[in-house]
Each structure stands twice: as structure tokens, then as C-alpha cells.
């Protein structure tokens, strides 16, 4: 059974639970880096938001021996959690004056997203691109986002430069930067109960942990931490936090706090790893490590780039090393 046949089987079973006025459809969704995922969209009469239940992980579990009954229990749970009971007012998105305070940016890799970048406004930085999206403000949708396409610029009658200017102001405000030592990051991860994250007591699943230097940390007045070998830069909401490396002053101020230049390693779309340059690191070895971790530990749609970068405290600039 291939994944499309599996989706159809799940759809047929799920349909038995659905109330009148509900339609199910199997769809392919293209994600970041051109990754295609499969799922079931649940549409209900009188609702303008349709939850999409991704099947790829469940299909792998089924192929690895999970019973179909267990799969369906999880599908029903996911549907209950994502079910929207009322329509959501999206009229604000048609008027840029109402939306402009909600537009933000995220970083994606250029090479893997060339096809997408032909369709969306973007700004290039090294081998990355900043693309723009809007946080849907209604609480019913949680952290749902709307990617901005070139067609939206025409509808709003604005330029890419206008959009970028607003996003530069909004992104650090809506998604404040957050820097943690690797040790504190591990404590935070181990306190979470999220599928796909390490469970408490099993921090070794984090591929970056082996690089952490076990030594006591002291807290600086600014709130940054000093003394460890690795730090994680992301944002408060843990959503597309790698873009925080482009916030004005964030990397520079941290570099000044620890009085060292920095290697910047892309961990995923959601964070980057900052490694203080103490003269012992080999850039090529760091690059090989990033490539290996991206290949074996990071979900394909979450990979940012295979490159590594360097922030010079003297020059105040980020450059690509490999």
C-alpha cells in the first residue's frame, strides 16, 4: 500500500464519524524546500477554515507495524484538536492598512526554494532568502500563518520594499529574539511533552548536545549567558526563529557581550546555533557536522541551509564560510 492508498483508506474510515455537511479530500501540500506532504482536508459547510491532517508520519508508523485502529485513534484526536467551530473573519487580509502591523518575515534556503521564490516577494541574504507572511490574529487558528505572494502585492498596491520595511519593524516585536545556552535549551526541551522532541531524561536525542561544554555559566546584566561553548538563537514563540539572526543588533550585541566573534550554524528554520570563536574550532569540521545533521536529524522541510556563517566582531558583518 502506497501513501495515497493509505490516505484514501483513512479518509473512508474517518468519513464514518463525520456529521452531515462535511467533505473530506486527500491532498498533497508542498512545504519548504519543495517537500511534498500528504494529508486529509476536512471541510465543513458554513466554515471558511479547513483543518489539514498530515498523514506522512502516521503512514510510516503503520508501515512499521502500528495497527490501523491506533492510526485512526490518532487521526480522530488530531481532528478534534484542530476542529474550528466558527468561521474566521479574514477580511483584514484584503486591506493592507489593516494587515501591515501583522506582516513578518522568515528565512529559507535559496537553492531548495527557487520555484517558490518565483512566486513570492523575497529579499536575498547570502544563500538565504527572507520571505513574508502574516500571523492570523484570531485565537481559533493558533499560530496559523499566511504566506505573502506576488499576487497579494498587486492586490494591496504596494511594493516589495514597502512590505520589507514593515516586516523589519514588526518581526522583532511580534517574535522577540531569544538566546539560550545549550544547557538551558536542553532543560527547556526536556520539560516539554511534544511529539518529535526528546522526552525528559533523554537529552541525548538532541544532535547538538555533544558539542556542549560542561562548565558553570554566569548570567550577564543583559540577560545573555556566558561561559558555555554553544548558544541557541531563536525567538520566544519557537516559530521560524532562524530569522532572528537578521534582527538589527541581536548578533552584534551578543558578540560584544561574550567578547568573541561567532560561528553561526543553521540548526533549522526555527533556530541557529552560535559558537564563540575561541580559536580552537575548525570551520570545515563545523560545516561537515551541519551537513550530516541536516541529512540525518532534521526533517527535510525544516532544513535552512547546509552552509555555515561567521560574524566578525571587528567588521560587524555576517559572511558565508562554506
- Tracing cell 561553548 back to the chain, one arrives at 229
| Mean pLDDT of the region 177-198 | 68
Provide the pLDDT for residue 20. 86
Q: Which of 7-11, 68-72, 75-79, 228-232 has the lowest mean pLDDT?
A: 228-232
Per-residue pLDDT at 7 exceeds 70: yes
Report the share of the chain in percent with pLDDT over 90.
66
The per-residue pLDDT for 88 is: 67
Q: Which residue has the cell 570545515?
A: 284
pLDDT at residue number 137: 56
Percent of the chain at pLDDT exceeding 70: 83
Strand, coil or helix: what is 180?
A: strand
pLDDT on residue 218: 31
Q: 77 pLDDT exceeds 60? A: yes
Residue 20 is placed in which grid cell? 452531515
Q: What are the phi and psi torsion angles at 141 (to 5°)?
A: -105, 0
Edge-to-edge order in the sheet of strand 317-320: 177-181, 231-235, 271-276, 262-268, 309-312, 317-320
Residue 250 CB neighbour total at 10 angstroms = 17
Name every residue whose Cβ is closer than 8 Å to that of residue 124 and which is 6 or more positions away in sequence: 110
Q: Is 248 helix (H, G, I), strand (E, B) or coil?
A: coil
Continuous segment of H or E residues that includes residue 115: helix 114-117
| pLDDT number for residue 199 | 36
Per-residue pLDDT at 205: 45
DSSP 199: P
Q: How far apart are CA 38 and CA 298, in angstroms?
A: 19
317 grid coordinates: 558583518
Question: Is 81 or 104 the better-scoring residue by pLDDT?
Answer: 104
Name the nearest CA neighbour of 266 among 215, 314, 321, 229: 321
Of residues 189 and 271, more confidence is placed in: 271
Per-residue pLDDT of 240-264, as tens digits, reads 999 999 999 999 999 999 999 999 9
Average pLDDT of the segment spanning 72-78: 93
* Average pLDDT of every residue of the chain: 85
Q: Identify the burial level of 290 via C-beta atoms within 10 angstroms of its C-beta, where 0-12 means exposed, 13-18 middle and 19 or more buried.
A: buried
Nearest C-alpha neighbor of 305 from the set 314, 313, 315, 295:
295
For the cut 80, the answer to whether the pLDDT of residue 49 exceeds it is no
Give the range among 118-122, 126-130, 143-147, 300-304 with minimum mean pLDDT: 143-147
| pLDDT, average across residues 276-282 | 89
Q: Which residue(s) pair with 319 in the sheet? A: 310
Average pLDDT over residues 196-220: 40
Q: What is the pLDDT of residue 109?
A: 97
The pLDDT of residue 211 is above 90? no
How many angstroms separate the CA atoms of 134 and 47, rounded?
20
pLDDT at residue 142 in the model:
56
pLDDT recorded at residue 183: 79
The C-alpha cell that represents 311 in the structure block: 560574524
**Residue of 90, 88, 92, 93 lying closest to 44 (CA atoms):** 88
139 has a pLDDT exceeding 60: no
C-beta separation of 234 from 245 below 8 A: no
Strands 103-109 and 128-135: antiparallel
The answer to whether 25 touches 40, Cβ cutoff 8 Å, is yes
The answer to whether residue 192 scores a pLDDT higher than 70 is no
**For residues 305 and 257, what is the distance between their CA atoms, to the nearest angstrom?**
27
Amino acid at each position: 500500500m502506497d501513501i495515497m492508498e493509505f490516505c484514501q483508506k483513512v479518509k473512508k474510515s474517518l468519513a464514518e464519524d463525520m456529521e452531515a455537511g462535511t467533505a473530506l479530500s486527500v491532498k498533497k501540500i508542498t512545504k519548504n524546500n519543495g517537500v511534498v506532504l500528504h494529508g486529509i482536508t476536512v471541510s465543513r459547510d458554513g466554515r471558511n477554515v479547513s483543518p489539514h491532517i498530515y498523514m506522512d508520519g502516521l503512514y510510516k508508523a503503520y508501515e512499521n507495524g502500528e495497527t490501523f485502529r491506533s492510526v485512526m485513534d490518532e487521526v480522530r484526536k488530531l481532528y478534534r484538536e484542530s476542529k474550528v467551530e466558527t468561521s474566521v473573519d479574514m477580511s483584514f487580509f484584503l486591506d493592507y492598512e489593516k494587515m501591515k502591523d501583522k506582516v513578518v518575515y522568515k528565512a529559507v534556503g535559496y537553492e531548495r526554494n527557487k520555484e517558490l521564490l518565483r512566486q513570492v516577494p523575497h529579499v536575498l541574504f547570502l544563500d538565504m532568502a527572507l520571505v513574508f507572511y502574516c500571523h492570523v490574529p484570531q485565537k481559533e487558528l493558533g499560530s496559523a500563518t499566511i504566506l505573502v505572494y506576488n499576487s497579494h502585492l498587486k492586490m494591496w498596491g504596494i511594493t516589495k520594499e514597502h512590505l520589507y520595511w514593515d516586516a523589519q519593524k514588526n518581526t522583532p516585536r511580534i517574535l522577540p529574539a531569544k538566546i539560550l545556552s545549550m544547557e538551558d535549551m536542553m532543560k527547556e526541551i526536556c520539560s516539554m511533552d511534544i511529539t518529535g522532541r526528546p522526552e525528559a531524561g533523554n537529552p541525548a536525542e538532541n544532535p547538538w548536545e555533544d558539542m556542549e561544554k560542561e562548565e558553570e555559566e554566569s548570567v550577564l546584566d543583559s540577560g545573555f549567558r556566558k561561559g558555555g561553548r554553544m548558544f541557541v538563537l531563536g525567538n520566544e514563540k519557537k516559530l521560524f526563529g532562524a530569522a532572528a539572526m537578521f534582527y538589527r543588533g541581536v548578533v552584534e550585541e551578543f558578540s560584544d557581550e561574550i567578547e568573541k566573534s561567532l560561528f553561526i550554524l543553521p540548526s533549522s528554520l526555527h533556530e541557529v546555533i552560535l559558537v564563540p570563536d575561541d580559536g580552537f574550532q575548525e570551520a570545515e569540521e563545523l560545516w561537515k557536522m551541519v551537513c550530516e545533521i541536516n541529512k540525518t536529524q532534521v526533517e527535510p522541510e525544516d532544513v535552512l541551509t547546509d552552509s555555515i556563517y561567521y560574524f566578525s566582531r571587528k567588521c560587524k558583518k555576517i559572511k558565508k564560510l562554506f
